[in-house]
Amino acid sequence: MAEPLRPLLEALSAEPGTKNFSGEIRSAEDLLSSEALAKLEARHAGIFAIVLVDEKIDVSVFQYLKSDSIANDTGPNVFALYEGAPKSRVVRDVKIDGLGAIRTESPVVAFARSLFPNNQIIFPGVVIAERLTGKEAVFVPLNSGVQSDVTDRLRKLWGLISDSWKARTKDKAFTQALGELLALRGIPYSRSEGISVREHLTILLRALWDIRRDLLALIPVVGKAFGKKAKE
């Protein structure tokens, strides 16, 4: 099942009984200053994985993300998000003597590079975090140089994420457990530094709002992430 993340966050931020044609949240500031991210975390007691992919370049990965098999592959512990068409936005660089240069930059690329400033970010890849409001994340590149292998690597990654989630302990955080498992399998990865995942994600959502693009959410199985919680 595919859901746009921004409307999902709007629904989580909405007041009971309030319903507008265009949604209750009418500005990026209202959306990003709300507790929607925290509420989303409360609905999903597992891992969030943001797949950074370009539908025009990474065709096989994008098709897989939209397929029915993604539900079975991710299982109940992984909530996968992806940006399907990261359009570029104009960024102005101020040069010496007041001269300016204009360059284009995808918000998704900027998000990943700011979250992992000391590492070379290669796409497609996955940003993995236990909490969207937390301070730690892991980036795993998916491109091994053979396009046909990318989808298979993503499928295997879901399993490693799930195993790491189960292997976490009081003395070993999820990101540490995942890093150790990735290192054991010889899979390249990077650990985040600096400001929190939430701050970087807020910057990304703001940029996507500005260019009217939605970050899409893949809920593993209908009712498994949210419906089960409601029954408890």
Give the chain's domain count. 1
Give the bridge partners for 27, in sequence order: none
CA dist 28 and 210 (Å) reads 8
Return the structure tokens found at 1: 């099942």
Other beta carbons within 10 Å of 55: 16
At 183-213, the pLDDT tens digits run: 988 898 888 866 667 777 777 777 766 665 4
Higher pLDDT, 62 or 110: 62
Contact 152, 142 (CB under 8 A): no
pTM over 0.85: no
How far apart CA 15 and CA 180 sit, in angstroms, is 43
**Does residue 231 lie in a domain region?**
no
Q: Is a pLDDT exceeding 90 seen at residue 159?
A: yes
Residue range(s) defining the domain that contains residue 54 = 2-226
- Average pLDDT value for the chain: 70
Res. 106: pLDDT tops 90: no
Distances (CA, A) of 138 to 28, 135, 152: 27, 11, 19
139 touches 119 (CB < 8 A): yes
- Quick check: is 232 in a domain? no
| Structural domain contains residue 113 | yes
pLDDT digits (tens, 9 = 90+) for 52-94: 887 778 888 888 888 888 888 888 888 887 765 555 444 444 4
Residues 124, 39, 159, 4: is their CA dihedral positive or negative?
A: negative
The mean pLDDT value for 140-161 works out to 81
Q: Tell whether 108 is covered by a domain.
A: yes
